[in-house]
Amino acid sequence: MKTVSVLIVGAGGRGHGYSRFAKEFPEKMKVVGVAEPREFHRERMVSEHEIAPENVATDWKQIASRPKFADAVIIATQDAMHTEPAIAFAEKGYAILLEKPMAPNAEECRRIVAAVQKNNVVFAVCHVLRYTTYTRQIKKLVDSGIIGDVVSIQHLEPVGYWHQAHSFVRGNWRNEKESSFMLLAKSCHDIDWISHIMGVSCKAVSSFGSLYHFRKEQKPKNAGNRCVDCGCENECPYSALRFYMNRLNTKQLGWPLDVMSPVMTEENVMKALREGPYGRCVYECDNDVVDNQVVNMSFEGGRTASFTMTAFNNGGGRNTRIFGTKGALYGDSSKIRHFDFLTDKETLIDTESSTLGSILDGHGGGDGGLMGAFIEALATGDRSKIISGPKETLESHLMVFAAEEARRKNTVVELK
C-alpha cells in the first residue's frame, strides 16, 4: 500500500494523538503539514514529523488557500470550529477525518455532509467506539442472530467524577456557548454506538437531565475560589491541587495533566493552578452543562434503548446489556458475556486488545482502530473500511440534537 500524506489542523491533544499513527507506522502515513495557532503545539508537530517550513501555518485558511498537496486532512479543532475548515478542505478534494462532534447544530452538520457528498471525498468522523475490537465483536454477535432479534439495549457511560471536573466543569467543554451541550460533546459517541449496534433507524426520543451538583449552592463552607487557597483539600473529592499534583508526583504525565501545561514541571503545574481555569473551585466555575442525563429511544420495529450518562462514579469502561429473543449479551467494554436461553449456558469472550503504548490505545484501542481504517481506506480505495461515514454520522447526530430538544422541552421528539 502507498504511504498516505496527511495535514493536521489543530495540533492539541487529539490532533497530536492521531498524528502518532505516523510514528508507529511510518510506512503507512506521513504528516506533511500542520495548522495550529499555539506555538508549542505547532512546533512540537513540526519537530516530531520534520514538516517543511512552507507547510506550517498558524491558521488553517493559509493551507486551504493553497493547491492541494496532501491526500488527507485531520481536523481536530474545538467543537464549534469544525464546519468551515471541513467544507473548505472538501472543496479542495482532501479526504477528511473529522473529530467528533461533527458540528454544534444540525444545520452545520448537514452543510458538512452536503460538501462531502458534492465533492465525493473520503470522509470519516472520529466515532472511535465503533472501531474497537470489543465493538466489532458485539456487532458480529448481534448480526449473526445468536441472540435472536434485538429487542432492547441498556447502555451506561460512567464519565467519572474527576473527568467531569476536569473537562466539563473547569475545562474546554464546560460551557455550551463555548463548546456544545454535554450530550453532544461527550456522549454523541454513545448514541452513535447504540445506533450502530441496533442497525435500524431511530423513530423518537425523550430525555431528562440536570446540572445537579457543580453549582454555587453546593459549595462547602470555608471553601476558597481556587483550590490552592482552600482549606478543604482533604475533604473535597474535586480538589484540583490534590488531583493534579498526585498525577505529577506519580509521573502520570499524559492526559489530563498535559492539558494544564504542555511542559509538566511542579512550577508550571502550580502556576496553572494559581492562574488558569483548572485551579478553580468546581463550585465557582462558569459551567452550565449537565452532570447527569438519561435518554430513551424508540427504534424501527418497536425496539427500544436507554442511555445513562453520569459524572458520579469512578469512570472506567462503558457498560451495556443487549436483550434479544434468544439470548442476551452483557459487556463492560472489554469482556462480553453471552447467555443462551436454549441451553441456559453462559460464554465469556475477552476482547481486550494489545496496546501500542500511546494515545492510539485510547477508547479501548478505538483511536488506533479508527486511524488504521481511515488510512487503509485511502491507501486501497476501499471505502467500506470506514464505518463512521457521513450518512451514519448525520443520523446519529440528529438523534443527539433531538434528545437535547426533548430534555429542554420535556417532551417526546420524533425523528423524520
- Give the per-residue pLDDT at 361: 54
- Give the per-residue pLDDT at 316: 85
- Give the per-residue pLDDT at 365: 73
- Give the per-residue pLDDT at 100: 94
- Does residue 380 contact residue 172 with C-beta atoms inside 8 Å? no
DSSP strand pairing (29-35 vs 4-9): parallel
pTM: 0.92
Phi-psi map region of 360: left, alpha, beta (phi>0 left; psi -120 to 50 alpha) = alpha
| Number of helices followed by number of strands (H, E) in the chain | 14, 15
- Give the per-residue pLDDT at 354: 44
Q: Which amino acid is it at 340?
A: D
Provide CB contacts within 8 A for 331, sequence distance 6+. Answer: 134, 138, 318, 319, 320, 321, 322, 337
Cell of 69: 498537496
- Give the per-residue pLDDT at 358: 47
Strand arrangement of the beta sheet that strand 319-324 belongs to: 345-350, 335-340, 327-331, 319-324, 150-158, 303-310, 292-299, 202-210, 413-414
Phi-psi map region of 107: left, alpha, beta (phi>0 left; psi -120 to 50 alpha) = alpha
Domains, the chain, ordered by start:
4-121 (3.40.50.720), 129-214+287-359+388-414 (3.30.360.10), 224-279 (no CATH)
Determine the 3-state secondary structure of 155 from DSSP.
strand
Q: How far apart are CA 274 and CA 263, in angstroms?
A: 16
- Give the per-residue pLDDT at 13: 87
Determine the 3-state secondary structure of 325 from DSSP.
coil
Q: Which is nearest to 314 in space by CA: 260, 237, 219, 215?
A: 237
User: What is the chain's pLDDT, residue by residue, as a tens digit (416 residues)?
Assistant: 799 999 999 999 899 999 999 999 999 999 999 999 999 999 999 999 999 999 999 999 999 999 999 999 999 998 889 999 999 999 999 999 999 999 999 999 999 999 999 999 999 999 999 999 999 999 999 999 999 999 999 999 999 999 999 999 999 999 999 889 999 999 999 999 999 999 999 999 999 999 999 999 999 988 999 999 998 888 999 999 999 999 999 999 888 998 888 889 999 999 999 999 999 999 999 999 999 999 999 999 999 999 999 999 999 889 999 999 999 999 999 999 999 999 999 999 988 754 444 444 555 677 889 999 999 999 999 999 999 999 999 999 999 999 999 999 999 999 98
Q: How far is C-alpha 264 from the chain's CA centre?
A: 24
Q: How far apart are CA 58 and CA 37, in angstroms?
A: 4
